[in-house]
Amino acid sequence: MNNERLTQIEEQLGSLRKSMHRWRIASFALLFGAGLLAAQAVGPTVIDHLVVNRIDVLGDSGTPVVSIAKTDVGGRIDLYNQSGVNLLRVSSTPNGGDVAIWDDKGTNVAGIWSAETGGTFSLWNAKGEELSQFASGALTLSGANASLHLQNEQRVPVAVVASDPQGNGRFQIADAAGNVVSEMLMLPDIGGGIIVNSTTGKKMGVLAATEKGGRLNLLNARGVPVFIASTTGESGGGAMTVTNQRGIPVVIMKSDEEHLGIIKVLDADGDGARTVRPLRGYSP
């Protein structure tokens, strides 16, 4: 009889323990849920002051994608891609601030920093070659395709400073539609030149420097030179030639070796020249 009574008491105690365990779990779950709801209602935990030497935010691969650290001269912030390549750095330097940008292969392609003489901005290509730099008020462009474009409100280039394939400088002025109407350039085997075009792109005038002196050509609508001003031979005097619409000279005015003026008038085929010279010994 006593044994049966003890067994019943033990069973009742075991059932009571299980009930208390379930109640504790349910109470903890309720408290945890209430805490989450309260956190969502109140917002994230705000820390007024956090003191560390470095903070790293890890990416999916376990490598840092954001890093905040101190350096010997100040602070530094680095951004990385998921492969661990450094893409951006903002840091302190002995002269001020520094911003560096790399491509996904780790090549430095852009940078802006403070120097002793002021701010500097540089761009590099994918090979790490510096193509442009803006420092101390001077803009430097390098490379075969270096050019500076000025655009109007319609984003049409109206002025271009560039280099040609041979490495010579070139300056172009365009109208509002982008048609090049004048150009300063290096003429191969001649020298510096200025070309004037119509709005339809036809060449109308050329001013060039040659080994013998300057030369001016005016062309008609068909591209035929109809007026030519230049120097003459070894004498170094001036000469002007007027041609007909076929480009055949019909009037030639020049100075000869004796420093005298000469006028030649020719027919439509450049023949039958009549020459006019000053009267010798004549004085008005």
Query: Residue 172: which H helix or E strand, with range?
Result: strand 169-174
Q: What's the pTM? A: 0.61
Q: Are residues 124 and 209 in the same domain?
A: no
Residue 281 resides in a domain:
no
Residue 215 bridge partners (DSSP): 208
| 3-state class (DSSP) for residue 47 | coil
* pLDDT computed for residue 12 by the predictor: 64
* pLDDT computed for residue 43 by the predictor: 62
Helix intervals (H) in 194-253: none
Q: Of the residues 98, 117, 141, which one is the last residue of a structural domain?
A: 141
Q: Are residues 40 and 60 in the same domain?
A: no
Q: Are residues 167 and 260 in the same domain?
A: yes
Q: How many domains does the chain have?
A: 3
Confidence grade of residue 77 (pLDDT, cut at 50, 70, 90):
very high
pLDDT higher than threshold 60 for residue 2: no
Per-residue pLDDT tens for 112-157?
Answer: 999 888 899 999 999 998 888 988 778 888 877 788 889 999 999 9
Average pLDDT for 264-275: 88
* pLDDT computed for residue 195 by the predictor: 96
Q: Are residues 173 and 198 in the same domain?
A: yes
Give all strands of the β-sheet with 54-58 in edge-to-edge order: 54-58, 64-70, 75-80, 86-93, 96-102, 108-115, 118-124, 130-135, 138-141
Q: Are residues 26 and 66 in the same domain?
A: no
Q: Are residues 76 and 135 in the same domain?
A: yes
> Where in the sequence is the domain holding 104, given as residue range(s)?
54-141
CATH code of the domain in which 199 resides: 3.90.930.1
Per-residue pLDDT tens for 194-253?
Answer: 999 999 989 999 999 988 889 999 999 999 999 999 987 666 789 999 999 999 999 999
Q: Of the residues 114, 141, 168, which one is the last residue of a structural domain?
A: 141
Q: Are residues 25 and 62 in the same domain?
A: no
Q: Are residues 215 and 259 in the same domain?
A: yes
Q: Of the residues 90, 111, 141, which one is the last residue of a structural domain?
A: 141
Residue 125 · residue 133 · CB < 8 Å: no
Q: Which CA distances in Å does 173 have to 158, 176, 229? A: 6, 10, 24
Distance CA 142, CA 129 (A): 9
What are 172's two structure tokens? 């172009």
* pLDDT computed for residue 14 by the predictor: 65
Distance CA 106, CA 100 (A): 11
Per-residue pLDDT tens for 28-68?
Answer: 556 656 665 655 665 667 778 888 889 999 998 889 999 99
Q: Are residues 68 and 159 in the same domain?
A: no
Distance CA 278, CA 253 (A): 13
* pLDDT computed for residue 35 by the predictor: 62
Q: Are residues 170 and 266 in the same domain?
A: yes
**Bridging pattern class, strands 147-151 and 180-187:** unpaired
Q: Are residues 185 and 220 in the same domain?
A: yes
| 3-state class (DSSP) for residue 59 | coil
Q: Fill in the DSSP letter of residue 68.
A: E
DSSP secondary structure letters along 83-122: T--EEEEEEEETTEEEEEEE-TTS-EEEEEEEETTEEEEE
